[in-house]
Amino acid sequence: MKLTELNVLVTGGASGMGKAFVMAFARDGANVAFCDVNEEGVRAVESEAAELPGKVVGFVTDVSDEEQVTALVKDARAALGNLNGLVNNAGIFRDGLLVKKDRETGEVRKMALKKWNQVIAVDLTGPFLCAREFAASVIENDDGPAVIVNISSIARRGNPGQTNYSAAKAGLVADTKLWAQELSRYKIRTGAVAPGFVRTPILDGMRPEVLDSMLKMVPLRRAAEPEEIYLAVKFIVECDFFTGRCIDVDGGMTV
């Protein structure tokens, strides 16, 4: 698929990787609808993208809310004329060990169910809702060929302190494969990208010594730039023979 023929919806597009995807797609000539829960951030990205070749329009949406997602896909399609691309990027962290014994008191602390539910709701249920409504829209309106790109993580292999996040990101890769099988008959391809450490505001906010320790685990000894993750997303969009697979972009790191 040529990027100049792409009308794409990007979730979590007001900051970090999502914002980089929005801006890069629009620079490459695609039309972009994006959403985020941060209204101020949404408006700022719209303003910043105003002079780019592709049209950019933003929506304030919680991807874990079924009614909001249904409205989002309808509104995004109406704003762009049709919709043939989806990037499931929105995600959150609520890290913590499954259980941990306090060295001083002996108390066993457990990961709160609230933390599990929050991450699963945004990082797994959100992509499910967005993919479901997007696929239905493509089929109902004959908008194909189309493509779904899921942003997973190298934590999909299991990362200590991220029971909830690892489960969500592993589930997203599994869904990528099965959606490829289910949706190919409708000319909808799927793909996933699993980034390692990426230079975003979250990473930049870490203490330098902590960040340095993390990056020592990466053979390339640095974090990725968001634009480097976009290159993998762009490949999936442009390669019409790619579907059902996950691309790791992690600098050679395995967790």
In sequence order, the β-bridge partners of residue 189 are 147
Query: How far apart, in whole angstroms, are the C-alpha atoms of residue 76 and residue 78?
Result: 5
Consecutive H or E run containing 110: strand 108-110
| CB of 203 closer than 8 Å to CB of 211 | yes
In sequence order, the β-bridge partners of residue 31 are 7
One-letter identity of residue 147: V
Q: Is 230 a catalytic residue?
A: no
| CB of 36 closer than 8 Å to CB of 42 | yes
Among the listed residues 165, 179, 197, 230, the single catalytic one is 165
Task: For CA atoms 138, 143, 145, 148, give the dihedral sign.
Answer: negative
Catalytic residues, by residue number, are 165
